[in-house]
Amino acid sequence: QVRRRGKYLVLEMSHGALIVHLGMSGTLRYLTQAVPAQRHEHVDLLFADGSLVRYRDPRRFGALLWVPRPPEVSGAPFWQTHPCFSRMGLEPLEAGFDGAWFYRVTRGLKGAIKPLLLEGRLVVGAGNIYACESLFLAGIDPRRAAGRIGLERYHRLAQAVRQVLEQAIQAGGSTLRDFVGALGEGGYFQHQHQVYGRTGQPCARCATPIV
């Protein structure tokens, strides 16, 4: 069974789970039969029928972690106890993620909202590109203190995060350099970016230069 939590893929097996983080440039490719590994291809996951999944990572920022299955498991999936999941925020496309929750967990926080989004402690999946786009769509200055943002703006931000991520998924992601999806094709959401990577260009709303 294949699951996802944040930026991690989890491959559940009979004896444990393989946790995969693709880093900046990692990919998994399914092959029906073994062929010689090319440059930057580091790991093969072999199946009984001779097929395999090959892990490629040119920049080597990714990771593969094995978590043994304990003898008795009840409740949440056993791999969720791994330290890499201990401080993760909510999944933005699942129930429970809304403006009221955003508002409640940010009371008293003095840090700027954008770094908090990037940390992943509040919400997972809103990396640099999608945090920029979501904050712009919600009309929130990324430098504004999280604890000083009102409930109505947080409703708009929660809606914006969902909208941006759903649109990006439909577009296959953002290919800025070497990102490709599971089928080896690049994404095209970068053509819809309103602010990310557009410093100095005119804003689509007010035509003033983006800073």
Dmax over CA atoms of the chain, in Å, equals: 61
d(CA 135, CA 140) in angstroms, rounded, equals 5
The two structure tokens encoding residue 6? 């944040």
**152 has pLDDT over 80:** yes
**74 has pLDDT over 90:** no
d(CA 9, CA 20) in angstroms, rounded, equals 5
Sign of the dihedral through C-alpha 198, 204, 208, 211: negative
The pLDDT of residue 71 is: 81
Q: Which amino acid is at 103?
A: Y
What is the reported pTM? 0.82
Least confident range of 1-10, 53-62, 67-76? 67-76
Least confident range of 11-25, 42-56, 119-133, 180-194? 180-194
What domains lie within the chain, and their CATH numbers? Answer: 2-85 (3.20.190.10), 99-192 (1.10.8.50)
Here the contacts of 49-54 (C-beta below 8 Å, separation 24 or greater) are 53/28, 53/29, 54/28, 54/29
The two structure tokens encoding residue 98? 């809304």
Cα atoms in the 13 Å half-sphere on the side-chain side of 164:
29
Backbone angles phi and psi of 74, in degrees to 5: -145, 155
Average pLDDT on 123-142 reads: 93
